[in-house]
Amino acid sequence: MLFPTIDFGLFFAFSFVLVWSLNAYNTAKKLVLLALSLAFYASWNWRFLLLLLASGAISYLVGLYVDAAAKRPFRRLALGLGVALDLGILGYFKYLDFFIAQAMNLAHMLGFELPLGFVNVTLPVAISFLTFHAISYIVDVYRGRLAASRSPLDIFLYISFFPHLVAGPIVRAHVFLPQLATPPRAGDFSFGENMLLILGGLFKKMVIANYLAVRFVDPVFIDPSQFSRFDLIMAIYAYAVQIYADFSAYTDIAIGVAGLLGYHFPQNFNQPYRALGIGDFWRRWHMTLSSWLRDYLYIPLGGNRHGALATARNLMLTMVLGGLWHGANWTFLIWGALHGSALVVDHAWRRSAAFARWGSGPVARVVDWALTFNFVCLAWLFFRASSLDAVGQFFAGMWTDNGAPSTMPGVVLPLIACGALTQIAPPRARATIGVVLDNRGAFAQAAVGFVLLYAIVVMAPPGSAPFIYFQF
Partner 1 sequence: MAEPNAKPPTSTSPWAWARVLYAVLALTVFAFPGGLVDWLDDRNADGWLSAPLALARGVDAASTALGVKQIGQRLRGWFAAAIGGEDA
- Binding positions for partner 1, 392-421, rule CB under 8 A: 409-411
Cβ at position 237, least distance to partner 1 in Å: 18
Give the residue, chosen from 36, 127, 173, 195, that forms a contact with partner 1 under the rule CB under 8 A: 195
- Binding positions for partner 1, 209-248, rule CB under 8 A: 211, 214-215
Q: How many CB atoms lie within 10 A of CB 458?
A: 8
* HSE toward the beta carbon, residue 391, CA cutoff 13 A: 17
Contact string 31-60 vs partner 1 (x = CB under 8 A): ------------------------------
Q: Are 55 and 159 in contact (CB under 8 A)?
A: yes
- The region of 14-22, 54-62, 65-73, 417-425 touching partner 1 under the rule CB under 8 A is 14-22
- The region of 217-225, 239-247, 391-399, 450-458 touching partner 1 under the rule CB under 8 A is 450-458
- The region of 89-97, 160-168, 309-317, 459-467 touching partner 1 under the rule CB under 8 A is 459-467
Give the residue, chosen from 255, 312, 342, 408, that forms a contact with partner 1 under the rule CB under 8 A: 255
Give the residue, chosen from 41, 216, 265, 382, that forms a contact with partner 1 under the rule CB under 8 A: 265
Q: Are 341 and 356 in contact (CB under 8 A)?
A: no
- The region of 17-25, 65-73, 316-324, 350-358 touching partner 1 under the rule CB under 8 A is 17-25
Q: Give the total of residues touching partner 1 (CB under 8 A).
A: 58
Cβ at position 99, least distance to partner 1 in Å: 36
- The region of 13-21, 42-50, 272-280, 311-319 touching partner 1 under the rule CB under 8 A is 13-21
Q: Which helix (H) or strand (E) holds 103?
A: helix 96-109
Q: Are 140 and 83 in contact (CB under 8 A)?
A: no
Q: Between vectors from CA 398 to CA 394 and to CA 399, what angle results, nearest 5°?
A: 115
- The region of 5-13, 120-128, 316-324, 361-369 touching partner 1 under the rule CB under 8 A is 5-13
Give the residue, chosen from 431, 464, 465, 470, that forms a contact with partner 1 under the rule CB under 8 A: 431
DSSP 401: -
231, 378, 390 from 216: Cα distances, Å? 9, 17, 17
Give the residue, chosen from 70, 110, 421, 458, that forms a contact with partner 1 under the rule CB under 8 A: 458
Alpha-carbon distance of 455 to 115, in angstroms, equals 58
DSSP 299: H
Alpha-carbon distance of 399 to 396, in angstroms, equals 5
Told to judge if 326 belongs to the known catalytic residues of this protein, a careful annotator would answer yes
Alpha-carbon distance of 86 to 140, in angstroms, equals 15
Nearer to partner 1, 316 or 431 (CB): 431
Cβ at position 191, least distance to partner 1 in Å: 5
Q: Are 227 and 407 in contact (CB under 8 A)?
A: yes
Residue of 237, 207, 249 whose CA lies nearest to 381? 237
Nearer to partner 1, 19 or 138 (CB): 19
Q: Does 462 bind partner 1 (CB under 8 A)?
A: yes
Give the residue, chosen from 434, 467, 468, 469, that forms a contact with partner 1 under the rule CB under 8 A: 434
Nearer to partner 1, 88 or 461 (CB): 461
- Binding positions for partner 1, 164-193, rule CB under 8 A: 185-193
Q: Does 267 bind partner 1 (CB under 8 A)?
A: yes
Long-range contact set of residues 398-407: C-beta below 8 Å, sequence gap at least 24:
398/229, 398/232, 398/233, 401/228, 401/229, 402/225, 402/227, 402/228, 402/229, 403/228, 404/226, 404/227, 404/228, 404/231, 405/228, 406/228, 406/230, 406/231, 407/227, 407/228, 407/231
Alpha-carbon distance of 349 to 133, in angstroms, equals 34
Sign of CA dihedral 340, 341, 346, 348: positive
- Which 3 state secondary structure label does DSSP give 384? helix
Give the residue, chosen from 1, 2, 20, 349, that forms a contact with partner 1 under the rule CB under 8 A: 20
Nearer to partner 1, 141 or 207 (CB): 207
Q: Does 362 bind partner 1 (CB under 8 A)?
A: no
Nearer to partner 1, 53 or 435 (CB): 435
Q: Which of 164, 326, 339, 347 is catalytic?
A: 326
Sign of CA dihedral 49, 55, 61, 63: negative
Q: Are 215 and 391 in contact (CB under 8 A)?
A: no
Q: Does 17 bind partner 1 (CB under 8 A)?
A: yes
Kindly list the residues in this chain that would bind partner 1 in the complex (CB under 8 A). Answer: 6-7, 9, 13, 16-17, 20, 23, 185-195, 197, 211, 214-215, 255-256, 258-260, 262, 264-267, 270, 287, 409-411, 427, 430-431, 434-435, 438-439, 441-442, 445-446, 449-450, 453-454, 457-459, 461-462
The residues that are catalytic are: 326
